[in-house]
Amino acid sequence: MPDEVATQEEKIKSAEELSQHQKAISISEFFEKNRHLLGYDNKTKALMIIVKEGVDNSLDACEEARILPDITVKIEELEKEKYKIIIKDNGPGIVKKQIPKIFGTLLYGSKFHRLRQSRGQQGLGISCGVLYSQLTTGEATEIASSTGKEEIHKYTLKIDVKKNEPVILNEKSEANPHKWRGTRISFVAEGIYREHKQSVLEYLKETAISNPFANFIFESPSGKLEFRRGVEKLPIIPKEIKPHLYGVEVGLFTRMLNETSARSISGFLTTEFSRIGATTATEILKKAQIDPKISPRRTTDENIVNIVKAVKEVKLSKPPTDCLSPLGEKAITKGLQKELSPDFVASVTRSPAVYRGWPFQIEVGIAFGGTIAEANFMRFANRVPLLYQQGSCALTRSAASVDWKRYGLDADKLPKGPIVLMVHICSVWVPFTSESKEAVASYPIIVKETKLAFQDAARKLSLYLSGIRRAERIAERKRIFERYAIETARALQELTGEDEKKIKGMIATVVEKRWGEVVDSPSGNGPTDGD
């Protein structure tokens, strides 16, 4: 008898007995066991993630409040593999009663329910930093925040993992004589500080490229450095949009029906979704065989399934795209020039496109030569650098599918040599492959848009490179002619009896006239484009 089959003697357990172990799991307990899902799977990466969650929030808050960001990050080694991590911003601050909830509750935030491009979207980032700190060192997190008025509010807190609630260990409000405004967070967490490709330093360097309007000071264990702001203007604030019917499934549709204040199903469609006019609503409801005047509360499950089916048969207008805030070709060029000092930059911002009803936009930059020592590929989502899971990201796969050799580049999937590629996806909802927000899912339209953008930028680079190569060929020919000018002049003197010096002068004039100009301006189109 096989092992897995119960023997006669073994007592069969009843469903009642098994039910004693069945209970709800708090989200904090879940992530306590599964912190790798949030990216906390090694000590070096942990430091980077904590900094990233803090800085992303500071940038989001500053951008929303229309404040030019001044952000300081400090990492101090307390003992072996134990660090104090401080992130301080000059943002709008956080009102007193929200501080414990934001830092002491997982899945608490302002961005999940709205459809607007921002760095954060889940309501998990900063509280998970608090959770990781207390799990690895047992230490509480300290927060100080002020809205710039009379008081600075200070909290020391941990998370009650069973209840997913803050545990406040200390709370006080102090006078704010200098009207300081902003937020300062201090974590004590286990980690390893390194300065390699996937480190805090690289995250800050790439963040400075994609956010040239922000100023960063980094006080690291190996010294202090500053990434200065390159532009004095914040990007335009992206507009909030409503969901698009193409992306809506039965579950979400049902929930929205229960929450709407619309009186009729027709009104519900036109007010709660983007780009649905009365004519389109009538067409959908006719196909679904539903009375347009019926109240949203009275729609049956069958009605809902029929509407969702009918939506697929009706041609809908694309969602609006003013909800997107791409970097733009100028900012990409500036950012890459500022941090990499290359000889040439090509940048391309594609027109917006749509995946599953969500608008998104792809833009790329290619920097070449100058001080670039080795090839690098940088990915960004809503201006946030993605430093991990490069291989499983749709943006990488797409870049690797470009035939780089066609554009005169040495390549092995991705180009080699002194070249940096960057790609930015911006969207109201970036389709990450997991909660750690490290890789983008492979929607075919995203892969296609990325490839087209890289091909376009590669064409610009290849024009530049062919200019340089042509100039190099001509300069070489000019050098050869000049080398042989002496012998040629002597030979011609013997043949013709003309003065050798005069002949030499004539050859030099011909060479200069023929190739001099071309050699002086190798590229013919200047060092950068996109300006």
Ligand X SMILES: Nc1ncnc2c1ncn2[C@@H]1O[C@H](COP(=O)(O)OP(=O)(O)OP(=O)(O)O)[C@@H](O)[C@H]1O
Contact residues for Mg ion (CB under 5 A)? 57, 120, 125
Q: Which is nearer to Mg ion, 57 or 299 (CB)?
A: 57
When asked if residue 127 is in the footprint of ligand X (CB under 6 A), the reply is yes
* Least separation in angstroms between CB 156 and ligand X: 17
At its nearest, how many Å lie between ligand X and the CB of residue 64? 8
Q: Answer yes or no whether residue 422 interacts with ligand X by CB under 6 A.
A: no
Stretch that binds ligand X, among 68-76, 116-124, 207-215, 312-320 (CB under 6 A): 116-124
Pairwise CA distance, residues 63 & 370, whole Å: 32
Q: Is 50 in the site for ligand X (CB under 6 A)?
A: no
- Is residue 102 within the footprint of ligand X (CB under 6 A)? yes
Asked if 141 and 196 count as a contact pair (C-beta separation under 8 A), the reply is: no
Q: Could you give the CA distance from residue 485 to residue 488 in angstroms, rounded to a whole number?
A: 5
Angle of helix 329-340 relative to helix 200-210, nearest 10 degrees, comes to 140
Measured from the CB of residue 289, what is the shortest distance to ligand X in angstroms?
41
Q: Rounded to whole angstroms, how far apart are CA atoms 426 and 450?
A: 12
* C-alpha pair distances (Å), 187 with each of 128, 136, 140, 173, 387: 11, 11, 7, 20, 22
Output the CA torsion 30→31→35→38 (10° steps). Answer: 130
Residue with Cβ nearer ligand X (93 or 296): 93
Q: Which of 58, 164, 299, 325 binds ligand X (CB under 6 A)?
A: 58
Q: Tell me the residue number closest to ligand X, measured at CB.
A: 120
CB-wise, 120 or 359, nearer to Mg ion?
120
Query: Between residue 155 and residue 214, which ones bind ligand X under the rule CB under 6 A?
Result: 183
Q: Which of 315, 323, 363 is nearest to 243 (CA)?
A: 323
Please pick, from the candidates 40, 51, 63, 91, the single residue that binds ligand X as defined by CB under 6 A: 91
| Smallest distance, ligand X to C-beta of residue 273, A | 24
CB of 130 to ligand X, least distance (A): 9
- With H, G, I as helix, E, B as strand and everything else as coil, classify residue 62: helix
Q: Which does 44 bind (CB under 5 to 8 A by kind): ligand X, Mg ion, none?
A: none
φ, ψ dihedrals at 249, nearest 5°:
-105, 175
Cβ closest to ligand X, residue 76 vs residue 435 = 435
Choose between 98 and 300: whose C-beta lies nearer to ligand X: 98
Q: How far is the CB of 134 from ligand X (least distance, A)?
A: 15
CB closer to ligand X out of 143 and 188: 143
Give me the residue label for tokens 């608008």. 359
When the beta carbons of 110 and 264 are compared against ligand X, the nearer one is 110
- What is the distance between the alpha carbons of residues 318 and 249, in angstroms, rounded to a whole number? 17
Q: Which is nearer to Mg ion, 113 or 178 (CB)?
A: 113
Q: How far apart are CB 131 and ligand X at their closest, in Å?
A: 11
CA distance 413 to 469: 23
| Matching residue, tokens 């554009």 | 407
Q: Does 401 bind ligand X (CB under 6 A)?
A: no
Sheet containing strand 151-160, strands side by side: 165-175, 151-160, 141-147, 181-190, 82-89, 70-79, 215-220, 223-227
The verdict on 110 binding ligand X (CB under 6 A) reads yes
Q: Does 131 bind ligand X (CB under 6 A)?
A: no
Contacts with 508 (C-beta within 8 Å, 6 or more apart), sequence order: 482, 485
Please list the residues that pair with 363 across neighbouring strands. Answer: 349, 424
Output the smallest distance, CB 115 to ligand X, in A: 13
Of the candidate residues 126, 285, 423, 425, the single one contacting ligand X (CB under 6 A) = 126
Reduced to 3 states, what is the DSSP secondary structure of residue 437? coil
Report if residue 147 touches ligand X, rule: CB under 6 A: no
CB of 144 to Mg ion, least distance (A): 18
* Token pair in block for residue 517: 């100009």
384-386 and 344-349 strand pairing: unpaired
Interface contacts to ligand X, rule CB under 6 A: 53, 57-58, 61, 89, 91-92, 94, 102, 109-111, 120-127, 183
